[in-house]
Amino acid sequence: MNSPKPTAPESDVDLLEFPLNLEYLEAEFFLFGSLGHGLDVVAPNLIEGGPPPIGVRLARLGSLVRNIILQFGFQEVGHLRAIKSTVRGFPRPLLDLSTTSFAKLASYVIPYVGLTGYVGANPLLQNATSKKSWQDAVIRALLYEHRTLSVQPYNVTVAEFTDRISMLRNNLGGSGLKDEGLVVPREQGAEGRVTDNILAGDKDSLSYPRTPKEILRIIYGGGDEHVPGGFYPKGASGRIVKYYLKTT
């Protein structure tokens, strides 16, 4: 008699804990991008001895964008603290925020993947989901304003660039259309009436959900939830992640 195939942990604790991986990533990305330093300086009590991120540095930003990114960074500190006040959590995993990782996925991957991860992982995270949707909306609005500009040295427009990144994330996620660029076919636009797409959403203009498995496929950069890489060279953390590492 065959024993039942084990499944990934799905308790509320596990599903609340998993997004800590994304919060660490987002906090370091936004804080370093705006300040040139991260959680080790801003909130060392939250990292629990985890290793410092690889390759991250201060970004060359205008004053408006720098101010926005700084606000995002401090918001992520609050998200980390809130989740850790509910579940035990884990130390900061090793993060790779070098240009090598961003050449694959680009910076606008982070808030949107975080948002879809919250929607798909646990409905108890409604407040964090709302904040993620605001962050994603702000970034997409800034990009939308420049959608027709050419991105050098690639010689494609901002809109085309976001579309290609969205296609990559869809391919890595392996679960169909859950990501959209700034310009889409009319049938994918809101109510099938527009091609401009400042907010990505399904046929009812609701955020697409992604499971932890799909999130891992994207943030590892290789489309396989069992093989660490990308932003997490040694893998993410938590029981859900450990399950997939054991089932390679």
Per-residue pLDDT of the chain (248 residues; tens, 9 = 90+): 455 556 767 788 888 899 899 999 999 999 999 999 999 999 999 999 999 999 988 988 899 989 999 999 999 999 999 999 989 999 999 999 987 766 554 556 665 565 555 555 555 555 555 666 778 888 889 989 999 999 888 899 999 988 998 998 899 999 999 889 999 999 999 999 999 999 888 899 988 888 899 999 999 999 999 999 999 999 999 999 999 998 76
For residue 232, the cross-strand partners are 229
Q: Which residues of 184-221 are buried (b: 16+ CB within 10 A; e: fewer)?
A: beeebbbeeeeeebeebeeeeeebbbbbbbbbbbbbbb
Cα-Cα end-to-end distance for the chain: 23
User: What is the DSSP-derived secondary structure letter of residue 90?
Assistant: -
CB of 196 closer than 8 Å to CB of 144: yes
Helical spans, DSSP H, in the chain: 12-17, 20-35, 39-42, 63-84, 99-105, 109-121, 126-145, 158-173, 212-219, 239-246
21: closest CA among 216, 247, 170? 216
Rounded (5°) CA angle 75-81-84:
140
pLDDT of the residue at 1: 47
Is the peptide bond preceding residue 233 cis, with omega within 30 degrees of 0? no
Provide the pLDDT for residue 173: 92
**Rounded to an integer, what distance in angstroms lies between the CA atom of residue 39 and that of residue 77?**
8
The pTM (predicted TM-score) of the whole model is 0.87
Half-sphere exposure of 147 (CA within 13 A, CB side): 17
